[in-house]
Chain A
Amino acid sequence: MKISAGLPTGVSAALFDSARRRRLLEARLSALLEERGFAEVLLPILDYFEPYRPLLTGRRLEQLYRFVDRDGQLLVLRGDFTPMLARLLAPHLDELELPLRLYYRGDVVRHQPLRPGRMREYSQLGAELLGGDEAEADEQMLTLFFDLLLEAGREAPEPVDGEEHALRVVLGVAGALDEALLAGAGEQEAPELAQRIASRERTAARRAGLADVVERGYPTDLSVLGGTAEAVSGLLGLRDRLSAAYRDAGVEIEVDLAEFAAAALDPRISVGAGRRGYYDGLMFAAYAPGTALALGVGGRYDKVFRSLSGDCSAVGFSCGLDLLLELGNAAPQS
């Protein structure tokens, strides 16, 4: 019988040099994380389905590969590190010494529609900071995020065009646009309008009185954002500080509320799907010219702990290792 070398849709094997390059990149990034005081955690690939019901809803829950094992237990394959880590730590928060700095690396599997460059099994590397002062933690984690991306891309060729930046990081606040849209458009129209604004439709943004969100990324008059105005104002300050610190490194940072708007008002989503996912405060995503997908995404997810009856501030991010390899063109290091 002839044995096929084919693999299921959305999975691939890293062989020979590609395996070596990935491991080398992982080692460099892990060394940086260890240097910053982050400890590695190794999480299982199998877990019970039940704990994820309150953490993930909508599309993200549907994307989990689940099956009944021989003991009759409903199990899932690891689809995300963050909620797994949160559910393991939440019952032990009282015993833990906060702030806690953790990182992980490994594969996740999600049954998601096939999109260019998007696999069903892919490798992630991520970090989480639990506890501590929220503003300080946000800034620390963003700094770490930039440093990891710069480390991954340190062998990337210089941008051909002097004005183009090697790395663009978009900052937002989960739900910031929701309030303005709900106030301006009402329950019925707001979700569709949010989708259209997130698709940069200028006419839709103007109709909602939020043209600035498409033009600049945020409204000139922050008061239209209601209760989230203060958070956005804080974010603008954070952007200015980080922009000054990373100007020479070729990182351009912008605030863009529309980037995280579309999923925010999707009625099918409450905690764990779409661009907003389980985030409930700061959100960020990094892009580079020539990569069609975000290199990494992250944000504040205190509500994940709240939904687990824990009270802990939490901020983290994850990066796609294959995308980072593409970014750096990762020449092997001796």
Chain B
Amino acid sequence: MITLGLPKGRNLGPARASLETAGLNLDGLVSARLRQRFPDQNVLGTPVEVLLLKDWDLPLYVEHGIVDCAIVGSDVLEETQPDIFRPLQLKDGRSRLSLIADTPELPKRSGQLRAATRYPTWAARLLAARNLHVEVIHLTSSIELGPLLDLTDVAVDIVQTGGTLRTHDLHEVEVLAEVAPTFVVNRASFHAHRRRLSGLLGSLEETETGDG
């Protein structure tokens, strides 16, 4: 049996759709139930157990081998840097990590800029690569409030449609990175279930044109 981790919440839809298009039968998946078992899957040649977990917890479960494979946002992977395989990025559900400010240009400051983000490590890495040495403030939600309420000069956050930015009259100053739902596999599980996972990966790849 293969144990598959899927993200709770809004990322569940695109993840499930991609897997079903690739041939996985997840009929009857209930978003409120943590653990669900599905019978023999043609594409895997074995039953699959689905665990619905929080996006931020999924890499840990994969790294521990509790979950053989999962679909996780690349933003979470970049922040947590787990030691797991990332064979495929999915096409649907992509977004971008952007530098956001209340002005169209990066605010000019005599001292160090302050940035609010839920990705302190990744954001610091990306900004340092652009020679922007900022003080990173870790927020866990409503990141746009950082520059809006003058807690910070800028925010570094996920932008999907840009609707939230328009609502708050904020500007996307620069796209820092692409974010994509990523199919990840535990290192040991990859070897233990190599043939089976290769079958699923092959089908996923056929249905995805995402550039990994």
Contact = CB atoms under 8 A, between A and B. Distances in A.
Contact of B87 (A163, A168, A214): A214
Interface residues of B, number: 29
B65 interface: yes
Interface in B181-202: 185-194, 198, 201
A201 interface: yes
A294 B188 contact: yes
B46 A168 contact: no
A287 B187 contact: yes
Contacts of A290: 65, 188
A302 interface: no
B1 interface: yes
B212 A201 contact: yes
A116 B138 CA distance: 24
Q: Categorize the interface residue count of chain A.
A: 20 to 34
A289 B197 CA distance: 14
B60 A116 contact: yes
A116, A117, A160 interface centre (most CB from chain B within 10 Å): A116
Grouping DSSP codes into helix (H, G, I), strand (E, B) and loop, the B interface class, with mixed when no group exceeds half, is: mixed
B83 A115 contact: yes
B1 A160 contact: yes
Contact of B192 (A200, A203, A214, A289): A289
A66 interface: no
Given A200-B85, A214-B87, A215-B198, A161 B192 contact: no
A292 B64 contact: yes
Interface in B55-109: 60, 63-65, 83, 85-89
Interface of B: 1, 45-46, 60, 63-65, 83, 85-89, 185-194, 198, 201, 205, 210-212
Interface of A: 115-117, 160-161, 163-165, 168, 170, 196, 199-204, 214-215, 254, 256, 287-294
Closest 8 CB pairs of A and B: A292-B65, A203-B212, A200-B87, A287-B188, A116-B64, A168-B191, A289-B192, A200-B85
20 contacts: A160-B1, A161-B1, A161-B46, A163-B45, A168-B191, A168-B192, A196-B212, A200-B87, A200-B190, A201-B88, A202-B212, A214-B87, A287-B188, A288-B188, A288-B192, A289-B192, A289-B193, A292-B63, A292-B186, A293-B188
